[in-house]
A and B are shown apart, each in its own frame.
Chain A
Amino acid sequence: MTDRALSVVRAGALTSVQDEGRHGHAHLGVPRSGALDLPASRLANRLVGNAIGAAVLETTLNGCAVRPRCAVTVAVTGAPCAVTLDGRPVAWGAPVRVPPGAVVEVGAATHGVRSYLAFAGGITVEPVLGSRSTDLLSGLGPPLLSDGAALPLGSPAPAYPHVDEAPAPGVPRELVLRMCPGPRADWFTADATAVLAAGHYRVSSASNRIGLRTEGPALRRAVEGELPSEGMVWGAVQVPPDGRPVVFLADHPTTGGYPVIGVVPEPDLAAAAQAAPGTPLRFAPVGRP
């Protein structure tokens, strides 16, 4: 069989196609989107010999199962989980050769939230504005995976995989996110930074690809009133009227009208994407004014 495609056997709770995201269109109201744990999606691509920006599958908590119609090399990274090939255990974090018609199953995450399943040649759904990512805020890109759906696969590059084994991440007891203060830190009372740093927050189950929501003490405003809409960035810690900070992730709106008390640097956002609901959370203010 030469058909380069896969069939979805079990879509999982929320499995989407993701790449490096949709850049350069924020001024039109288009979110950046893309894999939430970029180091993990890039690693999965390297393991199968792809360029780092090839489209992969991003699962949420309970994995997924697919049946490639052609022989293809796959790799699973991100949240550690059992990986099976026609029911037999195979390696997580390593290239796995899949014969045509075999079922690759990404199991439930043993810890963390999102696993990444890469295929040599990548998933080649039609790009929208330069990206194949599913954007859950605005609905751009391919639909979420559904049982029985088919996805096209690209031809693998002749390149040899850049890495052949990846260490599994450990279980973080606590999520610590660095935070650069600003742009609207002065909209909050002077104790707000100390409250964020004290660590009485937990990751809320209402978190999604748009934002990491939190449960914990409400931050108090020093400036009342409405903030006129302003541009938002990945990692912005926005504080809605209930006072519980929300860390914006890849599908965040491009503009928003609630004040941003600080911004989490990009390298910390992969950990934010892997923090399961209930994980203790604190913010560590760093540098800048």
Chain B
Amino acid sequence: MSPLRTLPVGEHALLVELENGEAAGALHAELLRRRAAGTLPPVREIVPAARTVLLDGIADPRALAAQLTTWRIPPLEAGAQETVEISVRYDGPDLADVAGLWEVSEQEVVRIHSAAEFRVAFCGFAPGFAYLTGLGEEYSVPRRDTPRTSVPAGSVALAGPYTGVYPRPSPGGWQLIGSTDAALWDPHREPAALLTPGTRVRFVPRAAR
């Protein structure tokens, strides 16, 4: 099992740090299984992130920290669950820049991006904004030098190792490679976010407008 480190976060929370995002995803999945089975002490929030899982609103963080170190956490299995398909027009204003950074053609960016299987590592920045991993390390890209003051809702974008889809218009510095009509966020839906942590995702190309 991969090493796991617990860090104190005040009186009622605990941060669990793992060696990478895959391991954090595996712990997150295990926490959800245990919560569903009723074997996890009450927790208000379980918040996965890049390589950590935050447990907030717990009565006794020290006791839970001690318990965690004894767990056997199975690794994440690809294909173990349903995959959400997101239809994308690869017509983003930064597609050419990304092709330049990857040193491939724009068509090849589309092929690589739509061939990858993504996983929602975590959400943040805005309600329903998911950080998806699944591209190889060699496809990491920097943020734009100058962030845009407004990125349209549905923009499919890259930054660092992540792909994200803007759930609504907002300022943003990610590289925009395409757009989708998918409803990323609907507070009247349960869950409100289309892309929740752990969800598997594929991007399916459709003809540009």
Among A23, A24, A30, residue most surrounded by chain B Cβ atoms (within 10 Å): A30
A143 part of interface (Cβ distance < 8 Å): no
Tally B residues with Cβ within 8 Å of A: 36
A183 touches B15 (CB 8 A): yes
Given the complex of chains A and B, what is the CA–CA distance between A265 and B15 in angstroms?
16
Residues of B within 8 Å of A169, CB to CB, are: none
- Per-position binary interface string of chain B over residues 171-189, scored 1 when its CB falls under 8 Å from any chain A CB and 0 otherwise: 0000000000000000100
Q: Which of B11, B44, B53, B127 contacts A180 (CB 8 A)?
A: B11
Residues of B within 8 Å of A256, CB to CB, are: 124
User: Known interface pairs A128-B187, A180-B8. Does A26 touch B56 (Cβ–Cβ under 8 Å)?
Assistant: yes
User: Known interface pairs A183-B15, A229-B122. Does A236 touch B191 (Cβ–Cβ under 8 Å)?
Assistant: no
User: Known interface pairs A29-B124, A29-B128. Does A230 touch B49 (Cβ–Cβ under 8 Å)?
Assistant: yes
Q: Which of A24, A180, A236, A255 contacts B124 (CB 8 A)?
A: A255
A289 part of interface (Cβ distance < 8 Å): yes
- Per-position binary interface string of chain A over residues 112-131, scored 1 when its CB falls under 8 Å from any chain B CB and 0 otherwise: 00000000000000001100
- Per-position binary interface string of chain B over residues 32-65, scored 1 when its CB falls under 8 Å from any chain A CB and 0 otherwise: 0000000000001111111111101100000000
Residues of A within 8 Å of B15, CB to CB, are: 183, 230-231
B101 part of interface (Cβ distance < 8 Å): no
Count of chain A to chain B residue pairs whose CB atoms are closer than 8 Å in the complex? 113
Residues of B within 8 Å of A182, CB to CB, are: 7-9
Given the complex of chains A and B, what is the CA–CA distance between A184 and B17 in angstroms?
11
B110 part of interface (Cβ distance < 8 Å): no
Residues of A within 8 Å of B192, CB to CB, are: 25, 28, 30, 129
B10 touches A231 (CB 8 A): no
Residues of B within 8 Å of A180, CB to CB, are: 8, 10-11
B201 part of interface (Cβ distance < 8 Å): no
- Per-position binary interface string of chain B over residues 1-31, scored 1 when its CB falls under 8 Å from any chain A CB and 0 otherwise: 0000001111111010000000000000000
A228 touches B197 (CB 8 A): no
A27 touches B11 (CB 8 A): no
- Per-position binary interface string of chain A over residues 62-77, scored 1 when its CB falls under 8 Å from any chain B CB and 0 otherwise: 0000000000000000
Given the complex of chains A and B, what is the CA–CA distance between A51 and B12 in angstroms?
25
A108 part of interface (Cβ distance < 8 Å): no
B10 touches A264 (CB 8 A): yes
User: Known interface pairs A28-B123, A28-B127, A254-B123. Does A231 touch B47 (Cβ–Cβ under 8 Å)?
Assistant: yes
Q: Which of B8, B46, B125, B197 contacts A181 (CB 8 A)?
A: B8
B9 touches A236 (CB 8 A): yes
A233 touches B123 (CB 8 A): no
User: Known interface pairs A28-B196, A129-B187. Does A138 touch B50 (Cβ–Cβ under 8 Å)?
Assistant: no
Shortest 10 CB-CB distances between A and B: which pairs? A231-B54, A263-B10, A228-B50, A255-B124, A231-B47, A183-B7, A182-B8, A29-B123, A26-B45, A28-B193
Residues of A within 8 A of B (CB): 23-30, 128-129, 138, 140, 180-184, 228-233, 235-236, 253-256, 260, 262-266, 288-289
9 contacts between A and B (CB under 8 A): A28-B123, A180-B11, A181-B8, A182-B9, A184-B7, A231-B56, A256-B124, A266-B12, A288-B8
Q: A26-B54, A253-B125 are in contact. List 20 more A-B contacts (CB 8 A).
A: A24-B45, A25-B127, A28-B191, A29-B128, A180-B11, A183-B15, A228-B49, A228-B51, A229-B49, A229-B124, A231-B48, A231-B49, A254-B124, A255-B49, A256-B124, A262-B10, A263-B11, A263-B13, A266-B11, A266-B12
